[in-house]
Structure 1
Amino acid sequence: MVRLTRVQQQERTRRFVLTAAREEFTEHGYAAAKVDRIADRADLTRGAVYSNFPSKRALYLAVLIDMVENPTADEPPTPPPPPTTADALGAFARTWLERLPLVGDTASGGRLHLRSLGGVLDDERGRTVLAQVVRVEALLLALALESCEPARATPVRRVRLAELALTLLDGSGHLAESAPGFGDPFDLARACEHLAGIELTDTWEPPYLPYVTPARPCEDAWDPPTELTDRISGGRVDLGADGLITVLGAGRLAAVEEAVRSARPGEQVTVIVVTDDAAETGRLVRLRITDLVGCLRRVFAPDAWRRVRLVLDDDALVASAIGLTDLDDETESAVRVRNGAIVARAHGRGAAYAASTSDVSTSGASNAGTSNDTRPKGPTS
């Protein structure tokens, strides 16, 4: 008889719970699902379920993450990069629309396949975090679309176009949730292609940048944690390399664009997401980013996001290494790493901009923070 280790037993129990929960949510939907029935399906106690997932919402989000990260069908190989922005939007839309419920699906099963959050985020914090995550989604899609643009002296910003496309697609998902089969996916994909032809005035010049507090120069030892995963590429993250590291609470995720746009040419940008609620808020961020990136990877070449990495720091390992405490949803802090040391620190609104634009000499931090040039920089994607 093979004895399972404690970790193996925990993973086995977790898998039983996820399987049972998926069956329960498929049959009854989120609102009518019962944790007691999930425990019965898994042949476990109610306490065993809650020891792995502290709430029904956390369990539902875990089921969706499991569906996204472990698809039942093999993903097709990534095609060549789309030649134009319009082609890219159409290809992305067709990939995203595969989640729409079919006419023969049950209502609850269709919602699960759609990754619906209807009725799940019924509190102000959940809605606030989702609004911030959607801004990150728009930025990631925009960076991919910008990679399709021809080289120009002033790079094109495509965030407004990405927001428009995601609004159309998400709206079609909400309608399909209530009226399965309504709306032709091919028409929706063609509509997204045509969005690329709309003239949008799209610039990045936040009015607060001239008033951002300059970064503090320093020469601090930097011993970053290892074995971190980039949620965009799926690869390992080396935080010891030169670059900008921005730590953001779940309520400040929109500042990701500030980090990307402020970074100097060729500089690596790493965004660290922290939360005091990994079971729900952390899973919500993980679900949405993983789901979107799964679609993007099937359309765009990996180097579309080569300069930006995103790490979910549920255990605050990176934040602690930087020296941050009292983390919450409004956390916004940044450091700049040079030659294995932290050479600039900034906190509060505009932290990424302050740390990135600090005047750091190649030999260290002797000139950090001495520059008075706080003029907004153009997109550097």
Structure 2
Amino acid sequence: MVRLTRVQQQARTRALVLAAAKEEFAEHGFGPAKVDRIAERAELTRGAVYSNFPSKRALYLAVLIDLVETAAVPPEGSPLSKVDALGVFARVWLERLPLVGDSAAGGRLQLRSLDGVLDDAHGVVLAQVARLEALLLAVALERGGPARQVRLAELVLTLLDGAVHRAETSPGFGDPFDVAHACRHLAQIDLADAWAPPHLPYVAPARTCAETWSTPGGLVDLLGGGRGDLADGVVVVLGAGRLGAAEEAVRAAKAGEQVVLVVVTSDPEETGRLVRLRLSDVAGCLRRVFEAAAWQDLRVVLDEGAAVASALGVEDPGDGTEAAVRVRDGVIVSRAQGLGAGHAVAAQRKKATS
């Protein structure tokens, strides 16, 4: 008889709980689902479920993450025009729409529905995540061109989210191919997109320093799917409530300079899982449409245990955190904290090398 280690047993228990929870949510939906029934399906105790997932919401988010991250990902995309890329991106995004004959609860699970799942406090986080999602899509669309595409990306994602919501509330209504066709045409609209946040001229400059540090192991780049390399470049630590500030560092960084966005939260079980779900979802769609070179200078790392933040000297990292450092050859050469920290560090580097 093979005796499992404690880690193996815990992994097995979590897998059983996730499988049982997926069945329960697909059959009943989030609201009517019962933790007792999930435990019964998994042939475990209620306590075993809660020892792995502190709430039904955390368990539901974990099920959605598992659905997104275990889906087969085809090879990366090929070079496309902005118009064609938006059409393909829309079709990939809309693959989540359920078929007319699917059950209502199963369809919501496939849609990654969060209706009735989150509380009001999560609305702030969702707004910040949406801004980061738009930035990631915009960075890919901007490759090879000087124009900012964030407003276009926001418009496309708004249309796609609306189509998903419509599919949830009115199954079978509308034609997803029409939505994809509309996304193609949105690329031709002149949105007069400009980047000029009024507070940036007043951001305090980064402080120069010389501090050695070691990169925590096991980091994964959500955007590219590979290792989250923090060896050189600008590293920006952002709380879940400050993700919109990511663009400040991206715009200020020198061409060819790596920018790593490190996301932290004071609530990894729920808020952290929500951020991971949304970013894993959009990253998976992006990788199917665009070449990896579209983000060769950008990384997104989820710092679920705050190991990166702690290694960089960020005290008490939480949803409002905003801090940044510049790393060169394993040495932190400048740092900033507070509003505009990412911009301060990246702009200092740009000025020094221009």
Matching of residue 125 in structure 1 with residue 115 in structure 2? no
Corresponding residue for residue 36 of structure 1: 36
Q: 1:75 to 1:248 in 2, by over 3 A?
A: closer
| Percent of matched pairs sharing the same residue | 65
The CA deviation at 1:78 is: 3.5
The CA deviation at 1:79 is: 4.3
Corresponding residue for residue 322 of structure 1: 312
Say if 1:343 and 1:360, in contact at 8 Å, map to a contact too.
Answer: no
Say if 2:77 and 2:287, in contact at 8 Å, map to a contact too.
Answer: no
- SS of residue matched to 1:354: helix
Q: Distance in 2 between matches of 1:26 and 1:15?
A: 16
Q: 1:160 to 1:40 in 2, by over 3 A?
A: same
**CA deviation vs aligned residue, 1:94-131 (integer Å, no higher than 9, x gap):** 0000101211011110000000000111x222111111
Corresponding residue for residue 48 of structure 2: 48
The CA deviation at 1:17 is: 0.3
Corresponding residue for residue 352 of structure 1: 342
Q: Distance in 1 between matches of 2:349 and 2:60?
A: 47
- SS of residue matched to 1:236: coil
- SS of residue matched to 1:130: helix
Matching of residue 104 in structure 1 with residue 94 in structure 2? no
Give the counterpart letter for 1:95 in structure 2. Answer: V
Matching of residue 6 in structure 1 with residue 6 in structure 2? yes
Corresponding residue for residue 57 of structure 1: 57
Give the counterpart letter for 2:91 in structure 1. Answer: R
Say if 1:220 and 1:342, in contact at 8 Å, map to a contact too.
Answer: yes
Task: Please show how residues 230-245 of structure 1 align to structure 2 within 5 Å.
Answer: 230-241=221-232, 243-245=233-235
Q: Distance in 2 between matches of 1:95 and 1:359?
A: 37
Give the counterpart letter for 2:180 in structure 1. Answer: A
Corresponding residue for residue 21 of structure 1: 21
Give the counterpart letter for 1:142 in structure 2. Answer: A
Structure 2, gaps ≥5 residues long: none
Matching of residue 218 in structure 1 with residue 214 in structure 2? no
Q: Distance in 2 between matches of 1:356 and 1:46?
A: 49
Give the counterpart letter for 1:114 in structure 2. Answer: L
**CA deviation vs aligned residue, 1:162-220 (integer Å, no higher than 9, x gap):** 00000111001111101111110111110000101111111111111110011111111
Q: Distance in 2 between matches of 1:322 and 1:359?
A: 18
Equivalent in 130, 136, 139 of residue 140 of structure 1: 136
The CA deviation at 1:355 is: 0.9
Q: Distance in 1 between matches of 2:270 and 2:152?
A: 30
Say if 2:228 and 2:300, in contact at 8 Å, map to a contact too.
Answer: no
Give the counterpart letter for 1:276 in structure 2. Answer: S
Q: Distance in 2 between matches of 1:26 and 1:138?
A: 29
The CA deviation at 1:80 is: 2.2
Q: Distance in 2 between matches of 1:230 and 1:294?
A: 12
Q: What is the root-mean-square deviation in Å for CA atoms of aligned residues?
A: 1.6
**TM-score w.r.t. structure 1 length?**
0.90
The CA deviation at 1:340 is: 2.3
The count of residues paired between Structure 1 and Structure 2 equals 354
**CA deviation vs aligned residue, 1:64-105 (integer Å, no higher than 9, x gap):** 00001112xx444344221x1110100000000010121101
Q: Distance in 2 between matches of 1:359 and 1:23?
A: 51
The CA deviation at 1:360 is: 8.9
Give the counterpart letter for 2:31 in structure 1. Answer: A
Matching of residue 305 in structure 1 with residue 295 in structure 2? yes
Corresponding residue for residue 246 of structure 1: 236
- Of residues 43-52 and 330-339 in structure 1, the stretch that sits farther from structure 2 once superposed is 330-339
Corresponding residue for residue 95 of structure 1: 92
Q: Distance in 2 between matches of 1:118 and 1:266?
A: 40
- Of residues 53-62 and 255-264 in structure 1, the stretch that sits farther from structure 2 once superposed is 255-264
**CA deviation vs aligned residue, 1:292-345 (integer Å, no higher than 9, x gap):** 111111111011111110111111111111111122211100111123211111
Say if 1:252 and 1:331, in contact at 8 Å, map to a contact too.
Answer: yes
The CA deviation at 1:224 is: 2.1
Equivalent in 196, 210, 216 of residue 205 of structure 1: 196
- SS of residue matched to 2:327: strand
Q: 1:75 to 1:229 in 2, by over 3 A?
A: closer
Matching of residue 184 in structure 1 with residue 175 in structure 2? yes
Say if 2:268 and 2:304, in contact at 8 Å, map to a contact too.
Answer: yes
- SS of residue matched to 1:30: coil
Q: Distance in 1 between matches of 2:108 and 2:120?
A: 22
Q: Distance in 1 between matches of 2:350 and 2:210?
A: 11
Q: Distance in 1 between matches of 2:298 and 2:73?
A: 24
Structure 1, gaps ≥5 residues long: 362-367, 374-381
Corresponding residue for residue 364 of structure 1: none
The CA deviation at 1:359 is: 5.7
- SS of residue matched to 2:343: helix
Give the counterpart letter for 1:168 in structure 2. Answer: L
